Amino acid sequence: MKTKLGIIDDHQLFLKSLGMLLQSFGDYELVIEAVNGQDLQDKMKRPDQIPDIMLVDVNMPVMDGPEIVRWLKQQHPVMKLVALSVNNTDKAVIEMIKAGCCAYVLKDTHPNDLKAALIEIGEKGYYNGDFSNINFRRLLQYEHDKINLNDREKLFLQYACSDLTYKQIAEKMFLSERTIDGYREALFEKLNVESRVGMVLEAIKKELVSIESINLK
């Protein structure tokens, strides 16, 4: 049985092009193409048009990306939601993850990487694009190492999963920005990631933080 996919993006040329690409993968069936949140809600009234995986643009009219994701998560909690982004701006993508996305994919991702992402999402429930940049030796070492975080690292990780800037985190923790940079690099190493967004995904995936706990201000 083919995996059902949906796309919501207000740029129709991209929407149609991505739809054609997804259907060329063979193991997937595109059941919904929507240009905004209202269009999506109207089209999802038919039970045969409920995707297994929905790709959602971050910046949308009518309903923004996080609002759409929250609605989908409430209405269809088992659906896997993927953020589509022009760039990996931390704040925008983290908001999508907090809303309920299990992965983010850049719009200039190579088709082979997109297919690999969909496969991993289907099999594991999450996809972290950072792993495409991690060398094999580090990955092997990571698989054998237990992640141990001290209390300060745990607090930093919680703040890092919010929409606070690193400067604001430093102020919250009464530390210098240089010290915060040290925490960031340590967490990148321990979680084997190369970006803040990747760190958030891994932290949620490994249950080091929960969605409910990352709204610290």
What are the pLDDT digits (tens) for 19-31?
Answer: 999 989 988 999 9
pLDDT number for residue 130: 67
Q: Which two tokens stand for residue 161?
A: 């999963």
- CA–CA distance, 102 with 96 (Å, rounded to integer): 9
- CA–CA distance, 117 with 112 (Å, rounded to integer): 9
pLDDT number for residue 94: 82
Average pLDDT score, the chain: 84
The CATH code that applies to domain 135-213 is: 1.10.10.10
Q: Which CATH class is domain 3-127?
A: alpha beta
Spans of all domains in the chain: 3-127, 135-213
Per-residue pLDDT at 137 exceeds 50:
no
What are the pLDDT digits (tens) for 46-97?
Answer: 777 899 999 999 988 888 899 999 999 999 999 999 999 886 667 777 888 8
